[in-house]
Structures are given as structure tokens and as C-alpha cells.
Chains A and B, each alone.
Chain A
Amino acid sequence: MARARTSSTQVEPNGAGMAAILAAGIGCAALGIFDFLGDAFASVGRFFSFYAPVGTLSGVTDSAILVWLLSWFVLAKRWSGRNVVLGHCFLAFALLLVGVLFTFPPFIDLLQGK
């Protein structure tokens, strides 16, 4: 993972911002993937039922938020005060797309052969 310390004191390094962007992408992808897993596997669905009145949705969203915040914390710790390669933007877009696709019911039905 290429990264370099900033050479200019006038330009705020992009690391903190990129950490927030990539973490948001990771959180959205986690949301979609957890939704898919909860839908595809009954045992996973039961595991994600953290709060019975809400069912699987409670665990899917709580877990995705946990993944998002943890990944943000870790990335920010690693990248703050540094400039990181902008390829992470494309990774963040890809993860966002994964999140959107995996929350779209016809797509996850297709994956499950329904």
C-alpha cells in the first residue's frame, strides 16, 4: 500500500479524509453483505436477530455500523497526517456499489437462485 508523508505544510494531507471515505464504503458493503447472508442462511438470520421485535435487521445494521466505525478508527489511526494513494477512492466506490447491489432484493434472490 503506497503512501507517503506530506511534503508540504500548507496542504492538509488526504489521509484522514480518505480513511473516512473508505470506511464509509466498507460500512455500506458490510451492510449489503450482512443483509445477503442473513437472507440466504437461516442460521445467520437468527444470529443477527439481536432485538426480537426488529428481527434480522437489528443485527445486520448494528454489525455494519460496528464494522464501519472500527474500520474508520483503524484507517484513521494509520493514515492521519499522511497522504495516501487515490486508488482507495475507486475501492470505496466499488464497496459502495457492493452495498447497493447486495441490499437490492432481486439481486440477492438471483444469487440464491430463487
Chain B
Amino acid sequence: MEISWRDLLTVLHGMGFGALFMMAFSGAIGELYEAWSASPRTTLDPRGQKMLRLYLTGMVVIAWLTVLSGTYIIYPWYRALPPAGTTDLSAFPRSLLLSSPHTSGWHNVGMEWKENVAWMAPIVMTMVAYVYWKYGRGINKHPDMRRAVLVFTAVAFIATGIAGGFGVFLNKNAPVRGGATIQLMQGE
């Protein structure tokens, strides 16, 4: 059982960071809504508030790691141009996708949207974490600001979903592969 170095880093970007960040949204949106609702069922004690602050800070770190690894490690491999005369484009995902009208949309719409919209998530989540650190439960005194933060969080969630969803399909249609081979297990 083998994977390539680029496979490993692509999985780290998509599953290690991206999917973890995506999953963390369900907790963040629920906790923020509950903590900031006008009549919360339970009141977060100081420890709970500290945990939520740390949770949001962790999300911010993961969000930045996701976009930075995607842009500066994976993307250069994805968009590398094949040498003239290359017929096997499997090592050049962008060129492979653009070589057929059946797959070009994955790049022209999927990657072109994903590579930019994904960057909104860390920007927005940094703001959300800052506002929670700054105001905590006190944001209930500013209901419009509370609503704005929740809407921004929802949009960041959607942006992450777009980036993650297209990421999966792009990697299915034109996987980023290459580099050293890593043997995970010896076959029979």
C-alpha cells in the first residue's frame, strides 16, 4: 500500500485541515447561537466561555493552515505546466482537466471559484473569534452586531463547503500526485 508525497500533503490539506475546519463549523454555529441567543437555555460558565474562545481560536488556526497549504503547497503542483510535447497529462491536473470539454468546467468554474472563495473563511472566522474574545455574552446588548456575526459565520461555512466540495471532485477527476513514494504497508 503506497501513496505519493503529494498525495499525503493533499490529504493533509483537504482532510487534515479542511475537513476538520468544516466539521468544526457545526459546533461553532450551535455554540455561538446558543451563547448569544436572547434567552439561552443554559448560561455558559466562565470555563465554558474560555473553552469556546479556545475552540474558535483553534478554528482560526486551522482555517489559515488550510488556505495557506492549499495555495502555497498544493496549488503549484496542480497548475504546473507540462513540457511541450507531453502526451500523458496525469501529472499535470490543470492541463488534464482543460484537455477535455467534459472536464474543463471543473477547472474553469470549480478551481477558479474554490481558490478564491476559500480565503473568505479565515478572514471571517478571525473576525468572529475576535468579536467573541472581545464581547463574550456581552454581545447580547448589541443584537444587530450579534446577527451580523452569525450571518458572516454562515457565509464562511458555505464558502468552506464550496471549496471543500469542489476540492473533492477536482481531486477525483485529476488527482495531485507525484514526488517520493511512501510505502504504508507491504502487500501479500
Contacts and interface: CB of A to CB of B under 8 A. Distances in A.
Contact of B152 (A14, A21, A32): A21
Contacts of B34: none
Interface stretch (B17-25, B50-58, B135-143): B135-143
B145 A100 contact: no
Contact of A12 (B117, B123, B138): B138
B144 A86 contact: yes
A27 to B, nearest CB: 5
Given A11-B141, A12-B141, A64 B155 contact: no
A64 B145 contact: no
A100 B115 CA distance: 12
A20 B127 contact: yes
Contacts of A4: none
Interface residue tally of chain B, by bracket?
Answer: 35 or more
A58 B79 CA distance: 13
Contacts of B119: 31, 61, 64-65
A17 B123 CA distance: 14
Contacts of A61: 67, 71, 116, 119
A88 to B, nearest CB: 9
A30 B144 CA distance: 24
Interface in B14-34: none
Interface in A1-60: 11-12, 14, 16-18, 20-21, 23-24, 27-28, 31-32, 35, 51, 53-55, 57-58, 60
Contacts of A100: 117, 120, 155, 159
B101 interface: no
A89 B144 contact: yes
Given A21-B127, A65-B123, A86-B145, A16 B134 contact: yes
Q: Identify which of B75, B79, B119, B139 gathers the most chain A CB atoms within 10 Å of its CB.
A: B119
Interface string B140-172: 011011011101100100010000000000000
A103 B135 contact: no
A21 B145 contact: yes
A57 to B, nearest CB: 5
Given A17-B131, A57-B115, A58-B71, A96 B152 contact: yes
A104 B148 contact: no
Interface in A64-114: 64-65, 68, 86, 89, 92-93, 96, 99-100, 103-106
Which 4 pairs from chain A and chain B are nearest by CB?
A53-B76, A24-B127, A103-B116, A89-B148
Interface of B: 67, 71-72, 75-76, 79-80, 108-109, 112-113, 115-117, 119-120, 123-124, 126-127, 130-131, 134-135, 138-139, 141-142, 144-145, 147-149, 151-152, 155, 159
Interface of A: 11-12, 14, 16-18, 20-21, 23-24, 27-28, 31-32, 35, 51, 53-55, 57-58, 60-61, 64-65, 68, 86, 89, 92-93, 96, 99-100, 103-106
